[in-house]
Structure formats: structure tokens, C-alpha cells
Amino acid sequence: MARVCQITGKRPRVGNNVSHANNKTKRKFYPNLQTKRFFIPEENKWITLKVSMSALRTINKNGISAVLHKARKAGNILI
């Protein structure tokens, strides 16, 4: 699973580089992914996830347990 957020499922998107002369060439927009370790107190263990920064903000707001539960329900995570 390269360059895919394990919580939100965000992937690279395709777009164009547009020059001053209006020439268009293909490019990719990559999500801002970071590898982070999270401690899950219910299971008393650490997990490592590749998450986008928007997913990290959601984890900070709602808690890792609630976010993992929702991601497992949606089928985005395989842990």
C-alpha cells in the first residue's frame, strides 16, 4: 500500500502542470502522508500507521480507538 492513507484511503490524484505558454503535461498530486505510531490502550499495544495529516487531525479530535473502529467498519484498514 504505497502512498495511500490507511485511515481515510486517500490516494494520489492526477492533474496537469500548466506552463506559462499553456502547455499541459501530466503530474500527480500526492497526499501528505506520515508514518506514525499510536498506542491503543484497549489492546495495550502500539500500531504503526501511514496516515494523511487530515486523518491525524481527526485522530487528535476523536481519539485513535474511535477512528480505528470507524475505519475498520468502512473497510479502509486491515489491522
Q: What is the pLDDT of residue 78?
A: 60
Q: Contact at 8 Å (CB) between 36 and 48?
A: yes
Cα 10 to Cα 31: distance, rounded to the nearest angstrom? 7
User: What structural domains and CATH numbers belong to the chain?
Assistant: 13-74 (2.30.170.40)
pLDDT value at 52 more than 60: yes
> Taking Cα atoms as reference points, which of 24, 33, 46, 42 lies closest to residue 5?
33
High-pLDDT (> 90) share of the chain, %: 77
Cα 39 to Cα 63: distance, rounded to the nearest angstrom? 11
CB atoms closer than 10 angstroms to residue 33: 20
How high is the mean pLDDT of the chain? 92
Q: Are strands 13-18 and 45-52 parallel, antiparallel or unpaired?
A: unpaired
